[in-house]
Amino acid sequence: MHPLLAFSPEVAHARNTGAPIVALESTIISHGMPYPQNVQMAREVEQIIRDGGAVPATIAIIDGRICIGLSEAQLEQLGTAPDAMKVSRRDLPYVLSQSKLGATTVAATMICAELAGIKVFVTGGIGGVHRGAETSFDISADLQELAQTSVAVVCAGVKSILDIGLTLEYLETHGVPVLSVGQRGFPAFFTRESGFHADFQLDTPAEQAAFIHAKWRLGLKGGVVVSNPVPEADAMPREEIDRITEQALQEAAAGGISGKQVTPFLLGRIKELTGGRSLATNIALVKHNARVGAALAAAMLAHPEA
Ligand code: PSU
Ligand code: MN
């Protein structure tokens, strides 16, 4: 076992008994949602995964260790600490060696999940190519991680704060397949449709698991995006979210927001400008992804190649 990993008792037990495990990120807790909704969301998502027959492993960097599975107190700490760092691939050596508190992004969570032998990871939305990336070069490290780290990521697509078309082009170039569940369309986080298609629609966990096993069986390293649209009843009106997204993007540009602050700034402004309704949608879609992820983790183990 890797010396930097610290498993919670629940996850350690799952490893010993061969139970399905689902990784969860922590930037969504520290930087993606306000307190106390963030901690409550984290707890409820963990419970949905348990109810789905799998074991949740929320990942964060605490006291110089990569924690795989967090206690109640650790979830609370991440949800309230003003100094929790947003940790992507680049930042992992710093938070670990300096024993800082670190919340892992999709990229860093994938790295840690792979080290821990976890194949399925559930989140809300992945990072992507930002609008205007041709001059800003702002492309989330999540995409490069998907290109090289072998973990399946269940998400509700990418937000329209990003350039969704360029994000899909980037993933294609790097050989990252984008699956969709229940529809052809690639979802846009707050809305079910983005105007783009996913590469392959695979509705059942068994089909998704067979696809992922086939990729890795070929020796093709890297992730698979499993995109799952927000439930109809929880989706936001498209015109409203588009208008608010434009406003948030203009404010970010006017305020000179750059680097790793961009995504948290946009998420926070969208929440304010929708009077908190975007937060309810965000929580609902993560819960929906947790159901899909738990079923996928079980199907991955049930597959003959597991
Ligand atoms: N998108 C969301 N909610 C989030 C994030 C993205 O809808 O919380 C977080 C994830 O942790 C993702 C990170 O990995 O933001 C991407 O940040 P950046 O764009 O700086 O790479
Ligand atoms: Mn960025």
| CATH class of the domain at 1-118 | alpha beta
pLDDT at 102: 98
Assess whether 25 carries a catalytic annotation: yes
102 CB within 6 A, ligand 1: no
| Ligand 1 pocket mutation, candidates 37, 142, 143, 162, criterion most atoms within 8 A of CB | 142
Positions in the chain whose pLDDT score sits under 50: none
Q: How far apart are CA 56 and CA 242, in angstroms?
A: 33
- Per-residue pLDDT reduced to its tens digit, 6-64: 999 999 999 999 999 999 999 999 999 999 999 999 999 999 999 999 999 999 999 99
Proximal ligand: closest to the CA of 105: 1
138 CB within 6 A, ligand 1: no
- DSSP label at residue 297: H
The pTM for the full model equals 0.98
Cα 304 to averaged position of ligand 1 atoms, centre (Å): 34
- Say which residues have a Cβ less than 8 Å from residue 269's Cβ, sequence separation at least 6: 247, 248, 251, 252
157 CB within 6 A, ligand 1: no
Cα 127 to averaged position of ligand 2 atoms, centre (Å): 8
Sorted by where each begins, the domain ranges of the chain are 1-118, 126-306
* Residue nearest atom 21 in ligand 1 by C-alpha distance: 140
| Ligand 1 pocket mutation, candidates 27, 85, 245, criterion most atoms within 8 A of CB | 27
pLDDT at 305: 87
Shortest CA distance to 236 belongs to which of 188, 195, 268?
188
Angle 204-112-125 (CA atoms, 0-180°, nearest 5)?
Answer: 50
Q: How far apart are CA 31 and CA 29, in angstroms?
A: 6
**H helical segments located in the chain:** 9-17, 27-30, 37-51, 72-80, 92-97, 106-115, 133-136, 141-148, 164-173, 205-217, 238-254, 262-273, 277-302
CATH topology match: 1-118 vs 126-306: yes
Q: Which two tokens stand for residue 249?
A: 């993007």
25 CB within 6 A, ligand 1: yes
Burial of 305 (0-12, 13-18, 19+ CB in 10 A): exposed
Atom nearest to 25 CA in ligand 1: 11
Shortest CA distance to 79 belongs to which of 109, 50, 43, 121?
43
105 CB within 6 A, ligand 1: yes
Torsion of CA 284, 189, 291, 22, to 10 degrees: -110
Torsion of CA 5, 10, 12, 14, to 10 degrees: -130
For the domain bounded by 126-306, which CATH number is listed?
3.40.1790.10
Q: How far apart are CA 166 and CA 9, in angstroms?
A: 42
- Say which residues have a Cβ less than 8 Å from residue 9's Cβ, sequence separation at least 6: 69
pLDDT at 306: 87
Residues present in the chain in total: 306
198 neighbors 185 (Cβ within 8 angstroms): yes
Q: How far apart are CA 170 and CA 279, in angstroms?
A: 28
The single residue of 86, 119, 159, 260 carrying the catalytic annotation is 159
Q: CA 46 → CA 37, 187, 246, 249, 279, distances in Å? A: 14, 23, 33, 32, 18
Cα 104 to averaged position of ligand 2 atoms, centre (Å): 14
